[in-house]
Structure 1
């Protein structure tokens, strides 16, 4: 009986070792492809908020980490600096709208240091399907309404939903979500305008953060 138990134990141990080994091999073989796909996905997103003609550096290699309550929370956010001949000209910066109808809405905004917005995209949200989820590009073009808008302190009241006296449409039956996004994009762009003096002190993304 003991011999049978030992035999089965050895078989299970060998099977576990083989399975673990195969899993490790598969992980190492597929890791480059997964990383390449992540890089392509990230670049596609960055291209949507920062036109490639603006810069001639490797945008993904110019990734930094920033933490500031003005970005909607106190967690680390990624920031990508677009440079033209080594001179910073624009930024793609993640931010959080913490007052969405169903919680936090994660956003990325591309803008220059004069307050001109090149684009904005929603990265993650939990808004109501059929109502608040129209902030997604796949469901509505609403998010494109930020394109080429300027955040100017002299006309700051215009950067709001129409229900609040601003220029941006709200959704039928859902004002809280677009209001949260508009305010987050506005605050993020104002924050980007303050970045030139901060850039030399920013922390670079590490490999794990970039992934």
Structure 2
């Protein structure tokens, strides 16, 4: 017992030194990786905007407009060509995925028709919910949202009353979250148009 009592302070000291050293090392790694990670994320976002929005000659990032739809933040990156609004990329998310948050960059033509989209973040079930990136542009059945307009097509899964989009097989929750994000992104885009016309 005396031996344990005499070694206890040394053990506490050793653990304290290890904890401090580990914390310092983690802080150092974070400081050197923070900027490259932020630059990579910014580059990926700019690429996603360019991929999903109609051709533009402005800087959508500089012209971005933020709003909230049902308490969730959405960012509209308007696309202008020769001073005329030709559409937008809209970044938004849903917390209602099977594994939590999904984030999508949604691209719209001037009239609100879906031009394209990119899934930026998701943690859905591999082989099921993760299929959302290719699934909703697949022309088979009523899967694709490309070329459809939420004003005239019901962006709900066909399993739900009135839904007109085929959900991912065995991944209905993921499908609902994706389509919720698309609907809300469309609403954010329309809100941007109304705000700009006032």
TM-score in terms of structure 1 length? 0.63
Structure 1 Cα separation of the partners of residues 52 and 81 of structure 2 = 16
The answer (yes or no) to whether the contact 2:76–2:89 under 8 Å persists in 1 is yes
Q: Gaps spanning 5+ residues in structure 2: where? A: 1-27, 138-143
The alpha carbon displacement at 1:38 in A equals 5.1
Change (3 A) 1:179 1:85: same
- SS of corresponding position for 1:163: coil
Change (3 A) 1:133 1:38: closer
Change (3 A) 1:36 1:176: closer
Q: Gaps spanning 5+ residues in structure 1: where? A: 1-22, 202-211
Aligned to 1:3: none
Q: 1:161 aligns with which of 137, 157, 164?
A: 157
The alpha carbon displacement at 1:93 in A equals 1.2
Structure with greater helix percent: 1
The answer (yes or no) to whether the contact 1:114–1:193 under 8 Å persists in 2 is no
The answer (yes or no) to whether the contact 2:69–2:184 under 8 Å persists in 1 is no
Structure 2 Cα separation of the partners of residues 47 and 95 of structure 1 = 16
- SS of corresponding position for 2:181: helix
Q: 1:129 aligns with which of 113, 126, 130?
A: 126
Aligned to 2:174: 177
Tell me the alpha carbon deviations over residues 133-167 of structure 1, each in whole angstroms, 9 at most, x when there is no partner.
111x3xxx213222111122xx45x3221212433
The answer (yes or no) to whether the contact 2:167–2:175 under 8 Å persists in 1 is yes
1:81 equivalent to 2:78? Answer yes
Structure 2 Cα separation of the partners of residues 104 and 182 of structure 1 = 13
Question: How many residue pairs are counted as aligned between the two chains?
Answer: 161
The alpha carbon displacement at 1:82 in A equals 0.6
Aligned to 1:99: 96
Structure 1 Cα separation of the partners of residues 189 and 38 of structure 2 = 29
